Amino acid sequence: MPRRAVESVLSVLVAALAAWLARESEALRGLELWVAAIAAGLTILIINLRRAIGADDASNSVLPSRPGPGPVRASSTVSIVPLLSVQKVANFRNRKFQRFESGAEPPEIEPPPLQHSARIARSQTPDLRGNWVMVSLFVGCDGRPWSESEIAGRLDSLLHAGRWVAAEASRYRMPLALGVCDTYFAVENDSTERIEIGFAPEGDDMGPAEADQATRALILMSRGARQLGFRDATDMVEKIAARLPGSRSVWLLHIRRGGRSLAIPLDLTELQGVCLAVCYAREASFTEPVVKVPGPDPVTFVHELLHLFGATDKYGVPLSEFPPGAVTAYDVMRLDRTRLARLHVDPLTAAEIGWVSGMRGGH
Ligand SMILES: [Zn+2]
């Protein structure tokens, strides 16, 4: 039944009941019309108040359902996706999220060095559609681990980023079920070796400095994986993927340092099947220690996430160099605006991540 009809029928019923009661009562006899009108008004008011509160709740919560196997719906959703059959401990700031507890003692063996030849087994960059889960590995640095509240804040921000991406996907009528894994991984990088970073070139391909940074990030991830009892990053990614049935996963490496965030998509990774967005605690041209971590930036999460699906940077180029209507100052890959609410996925970026066809190629 439509909402207005329910409202009308209910208020008429309540008004009739109130009028009948007024007629029966000594004190209200003669005021039946007034009583009925007030009762009807109050009923409508209560219905609307309940609806307003309900709508507010709905906008604050995420869908409890997890993206599962089978055809995705035409709408786009965000949910917290449970990681199955692992030991975990609830985050005390936000019990929706849990820290992964490694069961076994970490093996002492050093893993083999990264195989650059693994590049031969390059995979295609996937489209951002279907069921995807974002899994986070938090790496503490310089003797400072990520605190529980810093982690909870970042995961909440990731959910916010996910909601934004889902809303944009809906705008393009793209079926996308995006999830944030309920379980996160936390390690400390106790290595004294500095994670050197050169200037990363602007543009859409990885320069030498950025490629080097990518290699280091993969080494860091493998080191973290070993602390958690896995053989290396590939082993961790494969084993965790097996516990997220029905969804494909992307990883976010949260490094508790200042540095320049970057994405390592599947077609550029040196480790088979490992694609990840490296997000520093604070954006900086060079890697540097941070004492107090600034608030998380959902724009960085979205920007790096879209890189993993083939989106290219669009900053440093005049808008006039793009095809008309393809890119505006509001595109999230252009970063002219700092607030996510003011940004969009413009048509060229949408084409790159597989949301529309027929607009490949940019500047
Ligand atoms: Zn970028």
Cα(102) to centroid of ligand 1, in Å? 33
349 CA distance to ligand 1 middle (Å): 12
DSSP string, 136-148: EEEEEBTTBPPPH
Evaluate whether 270 touches 246 at the Cβ level (below 8 Å). Answer: no
> How far, rounded to the nearest angstrom, does the alpha carbon of residue 135 sit from its chain's CA centroid?
9
Give distance in angstroms: CA of 337 to centre of ligand 1: 14
254 closest CA partner among 311, 204, 294, 285:
294
Write down the H helix ranges in 259-346. Answer: 298-308
**Residue 96 CB-density burial (10 A; 0-12 exposed, 13-18 middle, 19+ buried):** middle
Distance CA 43, CA 60 (A): 26
Residues 6+ apart with CB under 8 A from 181: 80, 81, 83, 133, 134, 135, 136, 244, 249
How many angstroms is it from 21 CA to the middle of ligand 1? 69
Class of residue 205 by CB neighbours under 10 A (exposed 0-12, middle 13-18, buried 19+) = exposed
Predicted confidence at residue 210, as pLDDT, reads: 64
CA of 338 to the centre of ligand 1 (A): 14
- pLDDT for res 60: 40
Distance from the CA of 230 to the center of ligand 1, in angstroms?
30
Task: Say how many Å lie between the CA of residue 333 and the centre of ligand 1.
Answer: 6
Q: What pLDDT does 145 receive?
A: 94
Using the mean position of ligand 1's atoms as its centre, give its distance from the Cα of residue 176 in Å.
Answer: 22
Give the pLDDT of residue 127. 92
CB atoms within 10 A of CB 144: 17
Q: How far away, in angstroms, is 278 Cα from ligand 1 center? A: 11
Cα(250) to ligand 1 centroid in Å equals 17
The dihedral built from the CA positions of residue 110, 111, 113 and 114, taken in this order, carries a sign that is negative
Task: State in Å: Cα 302 to ligand 1 middle.
Answer: 10
pLDDT of residue 305: 95
Which residue, among 212, 145, 204, has the nearest Cα to 322 in the 3D structure?
Answer: 204
What pLDDT shows up at residue 72? 44
Strand 262-264, strand 276-283: pairing: antiparallel
CB-count exposure of residue 350 (10 Å: 0-12, 13-18, 19+): buried
For ligand 1, the distance from its centroid to the CA atom of residue 260, given in whole angstroms, is: 10
Torsion of CA 223, 226, 230, 235, to 10 degrees: 20
Q: How far is the CA of 299 from the centre of ligand 1 (A)?
A: 11
Give the whole-angstrom CA distance, residue 283 versus residue 293: 11
Q: Which of 332, 266, 315, 234 is nearest to 132 (CA)?
A: 266
Phi (first) and psi of residue 201, to 5 degrees: -70, 150
Cβ neighbours, 10 Å, residue 14: 18
pLDDT tens for the chain, 363 residues: list them.
555 666 778 788 888 888 888 788 877 777 888 888 888 888 777 776 666 554 434 334 344 334 444 444 457 788 899 998 888 999 999 999 999 998 754 444 454 455 444 444 456 789 999 999 999 999 999 899 999 999 999 999 999 999 999 999 999 999 999 999 999 999 998 765 555 544 444 555 555 566 678 888 888 999 999 999 999 999 999 999 999 999 999 999 999 999 889 898 887 777 777 889 999 999 888 778 888 899 999 999 999 999 999 999 999 999 999 999 999 999 999 988 889 999 999 999 999 999 998 665 444
What per-residue confidence (pLDDT) applies to 115? 47
pLDDT of residue 2: 56
Spatial contact of 333 and 344, defined as CB atoms under 8 Å apart: no
State both tokens at 31: 């005021």
The DSSP bridge pattern shows strands 130-140 and 98-100 to be unpaired
Taking the C-alpha atoms of residue 250 and residue 237, their distance in angstroms, rounded to an integer, is 9
- Output the pLDDT for position 357: 80
